[in-house]
Chains A and B, each alone.
Chain A
Amino acid sequence: MTDLDRALTEVFAELAESAPHDPALVRRVRRRARRRGTAALVGIAAACALLVAGGVAVQRARNASEPAAVATTPAPPCDGTPMSQVLPDWARGGFTDPEPVVPFVRSRSGNVVAILFGGHLYSPPRKDVSNKVLWVWRDVPGTTGSAGGTGGTGGTGGSLTMIAQLAGTHTVVTRGLPQPAGPSTVDLPQPGCWRITLHSPAGTDTIDLDYLRP
């Protein structure tokens, strides 16, 4: 064994000792698994709904007086765990890498992403990493004044706001967002999963963001 071999063994052992620890690892993995399962079920449900819709339309034509059934979908559990993945193509403006892999969270509709500069968000904010978030809105065809991407194609006349609610509590925080869409520092008062309702001229969307305790 050379001295470099010995030095590597020691340095790797040192690194291992300083590895971050997530005490909620199991819970976090299960939540992500449920979220993906829910997304798959929603997709299947949507496909079924389309098939059923045709039948419903025929039935309604036969009997216009029959009231339409209203389906409700329970809200999925709050999960704002960022994923380091390739950004959607519509959110890559400003990145030099053609397939940038960055930590981000996608909104429920999939039309908004929150890119987390620091990898994770913290409450209270850490001194060395700010809670900077780059909001990127996907342009929605047929709408006017929707917030644009990093280049800021929208924001013409409407305002961008967020209403954040800490999951499982009545704690609510309202904030304005940069206009046109772009980076902003989003400090929230408590750690936990925050369900954020985004209001833009294009409509309303929700996104979950996890705030870790430093």
Chain B
Amino acid sequence: MDFEDYVAARGRALERYAFVLSGDADTAQDLVQTALLKAYRRWRRVTAAEHPDAYVRRIVTTSYLDWRRRRGNAEEPVGDVPDTPSGPDLADGVVRRDELHRALRTLTPQQRAVLVLRHYEGYDDAAIAAVLKCGEGTVRTHASRGAERLRRALGAPELPRRP
């Protein structure tokens, strides 16, 4: 498979994955371009890999984590987090989408990456650990803490938007 064939076949999926991961249109496009640029420059090695698509996605993921780390993991506060969950009753399935979108911004990059890989890509813990180059226990910790943070954020009052 040559590079153009690959982008034609998988480019749109990469754009989607990068956008779900970053939540920002410009960042997503930069992530995809950066990942494809790296892949293009070592294309022979990429195509020799057992799963070229996984290889490129891993570049997207690590680039996202690296950029966020260099930005200081800045998180957008959504309000004072209460000690106990007091928001919408998740058991009743009444989580409003916009609230969840906002709550996602409170996650650390690692927590978001784990939840995206688990719930969007459908990876199991072992596969996520391989992408993030960490242990499965760490994956479960990020997932658990991320879910807990989402639950708490969903119950928190909204802060004014940043200027």
Contact = CB atoms under 8 A, between A and B. Distances in A.
A20 B8 CA distance: 15
B17 A16 contact: yes
A101 B71 contact: yes
Contact of A29 (B36, B92, B101): B36
Nearest to B24: A119
Given A11-B100, A120-B26, A16 B3 contact: no
Interface string B100-142: 1100100000000001100110000000000000000000000
B50 interface: no
B160 interface: no
A163 interface: no
A73 to B, nearest CB: 23
A89 interface: no
A8 B115 contact: yes
A28 interface: yes
Interface stretch (A79-87, A143-151, A153-161): A79-87
B16 interface: yes
Secondary structure at chain A's binding surface: helix, strand, loop or mixed? Answer: helix
B20 A15 contact: yes
B90 interface: yes
Contact of B119 (A3, A12, A118): A12
B40 A7 contact: no
Contacts of A92: none
A19 B36 contact: no
B101 A11 contact: yes
Contact of B33 (A4, A32, A99): A32
Contacts of A10: 97
A5 interface: yes
Interface of A: 2-22, 25-26, 28-30, 32-33, 36, 81-84, 86, 97, 99-101, 103, 118-120
Interface of B: 3-4, 7-8, 11-12, 15-20, 23, 25-30, 32-33, 36-37, 40-41, 67, 70-72, 90-93, 95, 97, 100-101, 104, 115-116, 119-120, 147, 150-151
